[in-house]
Chain A
Amino acid sequence: MNLAIIDYGSGNLRSVENAFKNSVKNNNLNFTIQVTNKLDLISKADHFVLPGVGSFPDCKKGLDDIEGLVELLRTEVINKRKKFLGICVGMQLMVDFSLEKKRTKGFCWLEGHFKKIKTKGLDYLGRKYKIPHMGWNNLQIDYNNHPVLENISENEQFYFVHSYALDCRQTNQIIANTNYSHKIPAIIGKENYIGVQFHPEKSGNSGQKFIYNWLKWSP
């Protein structure tokens, strides 16, 4: 199998590459991993990971600057149904638009938009809810028995760092939520493409389990 991690200038490519390589090695999976922005290499890959840190408009611009990339991803993922994982801003890009800094259009593969997290009141220890939502948090699993969540319980935690959260009407595209003052979608997706708001590459053993599940998932 051939996995392409899309390189469009986003900051944490190395971390993502390291974490996926570690999972492939530890589980003896037959995967070749490439970090690339070359369209011909991307079209030859079987699976895609789209990382993303920074702001939504900056990430979108990084992608748009590689001519034909966004269209190619649509063909490969939506038409040819190749497996896709969006991480953090990579996940945010999968929906209609984001309101970060200015209204910016996403891929429109899933319904909804991102808006600034609004928190109410104080947390259970009387502390202010801080923004970004930063640190380790649990999942509340909505979609039971999804293959990417195999052997992952609601007691486990994943590393989040974000200030914008998905607002959507189609709740059937939500696989899991997290809770920070209110429910925040943590895993979204449909058929062969999913997106995670947290960073599996920085989520210790739980993150490694998730990456392994995603790698062996055959939608």
Chain B
Amino acid sequence: MLSTRVIACLDVHNGRTVKGINFINLKDAGDPVEQAKKYSTIGADEICFLDISATHEKRRAMFNVISKTAESCFVPLTVGGGVNNINDFRDLLNSGADKVSINSSAVYNPNLIKESSDKFGNQCVVLAIDATENINMPSGYEITTHGGRKKTNLDALKWAKQGEKNGAGEILLTSMGSDGTKKGYNLKLTRLIAENVSIPVIASGGAGSPKDMVEVVLKAGASAVLAASIFHYGIHTIHSVKKHMFNNGIFVRECDQNE
């Protein structure tokens, strides 16, 4: 039976893992290569790097991080952040990423989804959607970019369907209202998207406890759950999350019981 995936996400800035709220007060939190390796050893089903480096020059550090991670981390690796065109896409894959997530650039260049999935296959194209509540939108949610700061006037559901049609292999769905709050995923938004597209939907934004992960799978139909801070701060481990999911009837991949 297919397991529901638990994905560990790391924010990477100039080649180092960082922690901070809303990209402010960033604190160095170690070496992403070591952390990815550790997460994969203790049972993360996938690793996700989000590159929040500001300049193109500093992005070079990311390629090095990816290629080192790929040498010793044998679970799928998704990389996102600052992917503007097909060349960025190719560079990340060549460095050793298995999937690339595209966000703002897909909004400003909708052709990028089609171009990249035609070229590299839809299995490696992850459409990252940041949505925020807006009652004036047909679905009630609007797409935002630049970490939620810019509005686009695009309807979230329409955009998700369009992304699927253009060749995205899965959707990484973040509710901007919930992100960083640790109060739980946005169930309404997740259900809306998951029920209306045929590709897998990864729930992101708001995970504060294993209970939240169970809820978004059982009540909103997420195919996978992604979390960052709850793992980094050691509040919960991959194992405690998986155990809680399993105890609530969700099939998960076994992970090391000792960790």
Contact = CB atoms under 8 A, between A and B. Distances in A.
B87 to A, nearest CB: 15
Contacts of A179: 1
A130 B221 CA distance: 11
A37 interface: no
Interface stretch (A14-22, A77-85, A104-112, A141-149): A14-22
Contacts of B72: 18, 22
Interface residues of A, dominant DSSP:
mixed
Interface string A121-153: 001111110111111111000000000000000
Contacts, number: 112
B30 interface: no
A134 B171 CA distance: 12
Given A54-B121, A126-B221, A15 B1 contact: no
B1 A204 contact: no
Given A159-B75, A202-B74, A132 B3 contact: no
Interface residues of B, number: 42
A58 B123 CA distance: 14
Interface of A: 11-12, 14-15, 18-19, 22, 53-55, 58, 123-128, 130-138, 155-157, 159-163, 179-180, 199, 201-204, 207-208
27 contacts: A11-B124, A12-B93, A14-B94, A15-B70, A15-B98, A53-B120, A54-B120, A54-B121, A54-B123, A58-B121, A123-B2, A124-B1, A125-B218, A128-B221, A132-B123, A133-B2, A135-B2, A135-B3, A135-B200, A136-B3, A136-B5, A159-B75, A161-B123, A162-B123, A202-B75, A202-B76, A208-B74
Give the top 5 A-B pairs by smallest Cβ distance, nearest first.
A54-B121, A127-B221, A130-B200, A136-B3, A136-B253
